[in-house]
Amino acid sequence: MEMLNVLNEKGDVVRQESRETIHREGLLHAEIQVWCVTPEGEIIFQHRAKDKDTYPDLLDATVGGHVDGDESYDEAAVREVFEEIGVRVTRDDLLFLMTTMEKSFDPVTGMTNYPRRNLYLLAHPVIPGDLRVEEGKSLGFESWSLEKLRAAPVTERQKFIPTIFNAEGMRAFDLIEKYIDKI
């Protein structure tokens, strides 16, 4: 059973609970996202597996995951990049973008995700076809230009987890855009 830290709003650990309990009760916990871009500057999204406990079969960050009880956000980001896409990185390969805290309810699974999440950008471009698909967790990858994302109609936006198009998600894309020409 995967045990995760439950946090208070300052980010302090208050206790541990199972992943299932955290999502069933909507408890604040630590997560990371790592965004990757193609050499053409498109953002790479991971297509979540159809049996994920939150937001199955939707597009999400290139890499995302929970911070284990004994690791830092940075350590989790490095670990998750290798686990989810098969790329070995160090902390120096990751550009910190921002920290978010937002609660979202998945009506399909009845679960609530309430992460305190650190977002990073991989500091070098990658080719989606070179990424390893994590069996049982992902269906593959899609890349989208920022222009296409910003102009996406509602029917296209429904292919993504809902937080992609909220204010924090769009702020993350604005930050990524500032770095695209530098990586």
In the chain, what are the domain boundaries?
Answer: 3-180
12 token code pair: 């302090």
39 token code pair: 């050499």
In this prediction the pTM is 0.95
Q: What does the pLDDT look like over 92-143, one tens digit per residue?
A: 999 999 999 999 999 999 999 999 999 999 999 999 999 999 999 999 999 9
What's the full length of the chain, in residues? 183
The DSSP line for 18-34 is EHHHHHHHT-EEEEEEE
At residue 35, does pLDDT exceed 90? yes
Q: Which residues contact 103 (CB under 8 A, 6 or more apart)?
A: 26, 112, 113, 114
- Residue 56: phi, psi to the nearest 5? -65, 150
pLDDT at 53: 86
pLDDT at 80: 98
CA dist 125 → 62, 111, 128 (Å) = 12, 33, 10
- Please classify residue 181 by burial: count the beta carbons closer than 10 Å to its beta carbon, then call 0-12 exposed, 13-18 middle and 19+ buried: exposed
pLDDT at 179: 93
The confidence band for 61, taking pLDDT boundaries of 50, 70 and 90, is very high
The confidence band for 182, taking pLDDT boundaries of 50, 70 and 90, is confident
Query: Do the bridges between strand 111-122 and strand 28-37 make them parallel or antiparallel, or are there none, so unpaired?
Result: parallel
Q: What does the pLDDT look like over 1-26, one tens digit per residue?
A: 889 999 999 999 999 999 999 999 99
Burial 153-165 (b: 16+ CB within 10 A, else e): eeeeeeebbbbbb
CATH topology of domain 3-180: Nucleoside Triphosphate Pyrophosphohydrolase (3.90.79)
In the predicted model, what is the mean pLDDT of the chain? 96
Query: Do the bridges between strand 59-60 and strand 63-66 make them parallel or antiparallel, or are there none, so unpaired?
Result: unpaired
At residue 41, does pLDDT exceed 90? yes
Q: Which of 123, 172, 170, 139 is nearest to 46 (CA)?
A: 139
CA dist 179 → 95, 97, 109, 118, 152 (Å) = 9, 10, 35, 17, 22
Q: Hey, which bits of 82-157 come out as E strands?
A: 94-101, 104-106, 111-122, 138-144
